[in-house]
Structure 1
Amino acid sequence: MPLRLPASLLAFALLAGCVATSPRPPEVVSAPATTAPQAAPATVAANDNLNAVAWTQTAIEHDLIYLQTYRDAQAELLAALRDRSWDALARDDRAAPLRGLKPAVVLDIDETVLDNSPYQARLVKSGGEYNEADWAAWCKEETARALPGVVAFTQFAARHGIAVIYISNRAKDLDQATLANLRKAGLPVSGPEAFLGLGTFVEGCEQIGTEKGCRRQLVSRKYRVLMQFGDQIGDFVTVSANNAAGRRRAMAPYLDWVGRRWFVLPNPTYGSWEPALFNNDWSASPAERRQQKIDALRTE
């Protein structure tokens, strides 16, 4: 959601079937007995995001994945701290030598640190789609909860002198609301520089769309990054072509880092994986986008 390309609600949970009203019982009339004709049951169009949001909010498996991820990371963090050559930034993002740099961990915010599923649930119930005004209003409520495991992990990092930095595609003008929400949720915030939102100026680097490469380069000038966390591959590496082949190509050099330097979290409700299925064409109608997603499914 954070200042991403608008995510439709037509995403992922194709098992969310149509809801039908129960037919009225047959009307009893005088003999000879007959059954009154039944009207066709009224239906509500399926919302493709229903199962995804329901899983995110109610499935214990969701919480266990987060706990497992952050506990595994914490178990390896001090070893990464001791290894002076250890760095979790992609080659293109490392803009300064490691020597003498302070240690840090870098985390995305939405669906990595904070749970925004209530916002998604509102859209499912209203039948609406993501828009920047409603998203900004949700952020300003400052009520998103911390996801399982992240508070313990980030507080552990802070206690060991490791800076906790949040790189998010929330707009820069949401910085105060975002920092307040992080603090309320129990996450360590060292100050305004801990949040690098969309629109952060990075001298000598031209940001392309919502890519985070420039902000990662900014972090690299001051810090040796021990670990990165996110729910999109763009949280770790620049994606030149947002299609299936381009996304795999971007990750290919770093597969050995996954689970060691890069920790990827689940997000079935929205993300760059979705527009990759319909050629990133948000001008297409919801029905057209949905059909292209169906066409992308494998049946064998």
Structure 2
Amino acid sequence: MRPSPLCVAGLAALALAACQPVRPDAPPAATAIEAAPATVPADDNLNAVLWVQRSAEYRALAEQTYRAAADHLDAALKQADWDALVASERGPAGTGLKPAVVLDIDETVLDNSPYQARLVRDGGEYSDPAWDAWVEERKATAVPGVVAFARAASARGITLVYISNRAVHLKDATLDNLRAAGLPVADDSVFLGLGTVVPGCEQEGSEKDCRRRLAGQRYRVLMQFGDQLGDFVRIDANTPAGRQGLLEQYRDWFGRRWWILPNPTYGSWEPALFDNDWRQPRQARRAAKRAALEVAP
């Protein structure tokens, strides 16, 4: 029996499709069977949290960062004028200060993706009470690669100083968690949380410059580690242009004095896209983020 024109066209389309290259990361083709409706609304953070928790690529990036930093420790120690603080935050020179590295905690040293996963599961957003409760659980695990780096630094007599935007009332829970995860804690003074009083320096919001100055008075800071630009330098204008300007200014510091960890789940880059106004409804913030996408023509 002679096939109809419709059948011929269908066979040709199938043959053409069979010859097309398939991307290994491409989603499966749509089928006639529709997926069951979601029990909770779609969450923009689903892929980001899953990537941190399940991808080999995230682990590789984190371990790569800390391994490369460890390879620079000896050179930083030997170079007397090596300092990872910007000039305005640097301590007095020539005083024989002990060497240290400064590390942010969340998503730099401790992995809080289980907390983010709860928000995705429950359709929630960050809140101080829920965050404090998570910290008190002391269940965060070490970011891949950081424990090996910490051991390499400690073996060279380098102190680890933790400058975090965890509030000071969370100090005990945080230090317990750090120790449980295998991180060295010299004493309580190495935790400089949000609310730390620095004489002669007025802290604005969650900026860390005052606390970095305090670290610079106590130590010669060889390296800084973080997952946000604000972990390294004060951000005066949290706008896309302002952030890009800081990157251009300090581009050569990354991979030498400054080491950044991947964190696609949250950060100050996000409110920069909606005028730093968290009072806006969630849908309005989401619309501003969609509008910031660069879409191919």
Within the candidate set 229, 234, 247, 1:233 is matched to 229
Change (3 A) 1:226 1:23: closer
Residue correspondences, number = 265
Query: Is 2:273 the counterpart of 1:277?
Result: yes
For residues 196-242 of structure 1, give each alpha carbon's deviation from its aligned partner in whole angstroms, at most 9, with x where no partner exists.
00000000000010000000000111111100000000000000010
Within the candidate set 227, 233, 242, 1:246 is matched to 242
- Please show how residues 95-110 of structure 1 align to structure 2 within 5 Å: 95-110=91-106
CA-CA distance at 1:249 after TM superposition: 1.8
How far apart, in 2, do the equivalents of 1:98 and 1:47 lie? 52
CA contact 1:238–1:250 (8 Å) conserved in 2 = no
How far apart, in 1, do the equivalents of 2:147 and 2:210 lie? 27
How far apart, in 2, do the equivalents of 1:52 and 1:299 lie? 20
Change (3 A) 1:86 1:125: same
Unaligned runs of 5+ in 2: 1-26, 28-32
- Please show how residues 38-49 of structure 1 align to structure 2 within 5 Å: 42-43=37-38, 44-49=40-45
Within the candidate set 69, 87, 92, 2:65 is matched to 69
CA-CA distance at 1:100 after TM superposition: 1.1
- Give 3-state SS (helix, strand or coil) of 1:208's partner: coil
Change (3 A) 1:84 1:122: same
How far apart, in 2, do the equivalents of 1:85 and 1:178 lie? 32
Counterpart in the other structure of 1:154: 150
CA contact 2:91–2:220 (8 Å) conserved in 1 = no
Query: Is 2:112 the counterpart of 1:122?
Result: no
CA contact 1:237–1:251 (8 Å) conserved in 2 = no
Counterpart in the other structure of 2:169: 173
* AA of the residue aligned to 1:248: Q
How far apart, in 2, do the equivalents of 1:252 and 1:93 lie? 19
* AA of the residue aligned to 1:213: D
* AA of the residue aligned to 1:191: D
CA contact 1:107–1:166 (8 Å) conserved in 2 = yes
Counterpart in the other structure of 2:207: 211
Change (3 A) 1:121 1:279: same
- Give 3-state SS (helix, strand or coil) of 1:156's partner: helix
CA-CA distance at 1:252 after TM superposition: 2.5
Unaligned runs of 5+ in 1: 1-15, 17-21, 25-40
CA contact 1:104–1:165 (8 Å) conserved in 2 = yes
More helix by proportion, 1 or 2? 2
Greater C-alpha radius of gyration: 2
Within the candidate set 287, 291, 295, 2:287 is matched to 291
CA contact 2:91–2:219 (8 Å) conserved in 1 = no
Counterpart in the other structure of 1:52: 48
Within the candidate set 72, 76, 88, 2:84 is matched to 88
TM-score relative to the length of structure 1? 0.85
For residues 266-292 of structure 1, give each alpha carbon's deviation from its aligned partner in whole angstroms, at most 9, with x where no partner exists.
111000000001010111111110000
Please give the root-mean-square deviation of Cα atoms over the aligned residues, in Å: 1.7
* AA of the residue aligned to 2:46: L
